[in-house]
Chain A
Amino acid sequence: MMSSSSRPILEVSGLNKWFGAMHALRDVDLTVGAGERIVVCGPSGSGKSTMVRCINALERYQKGLIRLEGEAINPDCDSVLGARRAIGMVFQAFNLFPHLSILDNITLGPRKLLRLSRPDAESAAMILLSQVRMEDQARKMPSQLSGGQQQRAAIARALAMNPKLMLFDEPTSALDPEMVKEVLDVMTALAEAGTTMICVTHEMGFAKAVADRIVFMDQGKIVETADPTAFFAGDCCDRARSFVGTTTSGQA
């Protein structure tokens, strides 16, 4: 595997989280190397989103350690802001800022945190917008765009901070079927360009084509970690096999 040789970008070890009495994450361990593409799948409520949200400290956790390039990420410490800058996040609901144009959505972070001048930030943003094939929408407001366009703009916004790691939390689940492909195409292009990413998704075609490793979660635990060929061949536990069965039959 790629990660074994290079220094890992992200190390998650012994992660445990409770929502009240509900044990949402149980002893999760995950190591991600530079350039590695991880797809996380599993039934709903299995803790996929919670794990991703813990990684950039949007959720607090009770036990365990998360390290980005060796530095611990602690939600209660100011250093968390630096860690979040280095991690790009794409949400299911896009979460673009509705009061700002697409261009301003993308340049807000670089201007206020990386201290770029407006022209510099805007020319960088235009390059990112052309990568997500949105350069002609730069001056529009989020509410004028389709869901697929909004999600591509949100990807450009996350990329604008030059993240070392990209997190995708079900990026296509809120989209109409005809828009799923345009977002997946952008994500595939990013993966091919060597972006390190952890992607929570139900899109098994995407997982098969792009993932270096597939992580299967169930009831807060990582049940299975396998490369896509082995995973889809069913060389793993029963739960994963039945999950693959339902999702692929659902798509057919």
Chain B
Amino acid sequence: MTAVVNSSRVERSPAIAQLRRRLAWARANLFARPIDVLLTSTIAAAAVALLWAIVPWAFIDAVWVGENRAACRPDAACWAFIVNRGGQFLYGFYPQPERWRVNAVFLIFAVSVFLLLRRDTPGKRVVAFFLLLVFPILGYVLLHGGVAGLSRVTTDKWGGLSLTLLLGVAGIVVSFPIAIVLALGRQSEMPLFRWASIAYIEICRGLPLIAVLFMARILLPYAFPVGSEFDPLALAVTGIILFESAYLAEVFRGGFQAIPKGQAEAAAAIGFGYWRTAIYVTLPQMLRVVVPGVVNNAIALVKNTTLVVILGLFEVLNIVAAGAADPDWLGLHAEGYVFVGLVFWGLCFAMSRYSQSLERELKAAERS
């Protein structure tokens, strides 16, 4: 059919032909009946009105530089607040001359994750060992200091986006192995192991993270002698891991159940026992299946990290909110929350895109 249409218009230029096709499409899909005309024009008017309100506020009249709120205009966005406080939003109260340490930790993390995910890296086992066992200690030592000539930066100074990322990464990386053990435990034939896993998963999954964090703050001091001090960051990380490992364990259990029974039987028929079957046959297949579920949980976790304000920690949302309470920048909440919204959206969208590309790559790997 298309061949006939094309041959009858062979003398027209391609640009005009394309325009005609688009007009025909619009006519068929947007203006076919009176009700379609009404809907299309209402939606178009609403979109224009929205842009009319946002664009001048956010871009045309916006103020980008300034030392305090005197530079701002009452009817437009004042991004000078974000630009001015950018360092604090990224690093919290981490002392300025020491901020390279935060950068170094994230750079090491990014490079080792890249090496681990690239297909042809030699010695992946060394990288994985480094990332899971050496890096958490190295990272803590670098950030906290107090040794090897690094000045001490206590955890109450950590904050901003780097704290958000730290909580998210620590939450996923540490929960990952715990969740695998829990998922295996839930299906185990050993009753004690199975019941312990089920109890853990059901209890921790049934609690809201906010309740876990409140309990850590309010109940924990009662359980220990008066005067015991708890590092709020350690409490936050522990609470997040408790919560996240239960969720991930259920994602992994679903992944294990998606593997046909014949796979474990084939492994058994070779003479593999429980652990070899898990390590060489079921785990690698399970991890491919669960990519979307894990990323979904990671996205939820990154947004949940905002709750650590309960423990007095200022991750990116709360440090921006606190910034808008500063007399120099009083009342710039709108700019702050728009900025934080964009930051979280960017993080989550990047994770989602990454998971899609990883899924495609894994599918391709099974065919090449």
Contact = CB atoms under 8 A, between A and B. Distances in A.
Nearest to A83: B271
A82 B272 CA distance: 9
Contact of A143 (B260, B266, B367): B367
Interface residues of B, number: 22
Contact of A113 (B262, B271, B281, B367): B271
A89 B267 CA distance: 10
Nearest to A98: B366
B268 A84 contact: yes
B288 interface: yes
Contacts, number: 68
A89 B269 contact: yes
Contacts of B272: 81, 109, 112-113
B195 interface: no
Interface string A142-161: 01100000000010011001
B269 A58 contact: yes
A82 B263 contact: no
Question: What bracket does the count of chain A residues touching chain B fall in?
Answer: 20 to 34
A99 B363 CA distance: 10
| B interface SS class | helix
Contacts of B276: 112-113
Nearest to B266: A95
Contact of A91 (B266, B288, B365, B368): B266
B367 A99 contact: no
A161 B262 contact: no
Contact of A99 (B270, B271, B288, B368): B288
Contacts of B86: none
A65 B281 CA distance: 30
Contacts of B206: none
Nearest to A96: B266
Contacts of A74: none
B341 interface: no
A109 B288 contact: no
Closest 6 CB pairs of A and B: A85-B271, A95-B266, A89-B269, A95-B262, A109-B270, A84-B271
Given A58-B269, A78-B273, A158-B270, 10 more contacts: A84-B268, A85-B271, A89-B266, A91-B269, A97-B263, A97-B266, A97-B285, A99-B288, A99-B366, A141-B366
26 contacts: A56-B269, A81-B272, A82-B271, A88-B269, A89-B266, A89-B269, A91-B265, A95-B260, A95-B263, A95-B265, A96-B266, A97-B267, A97-B285, A98-B366, A99-B284, A99-B288, A108-B280, A109-B270, A113-B270, A113-B271, A113-B272, A141-B365, A141-B367, A141-B368, A144-B367, A154-B266
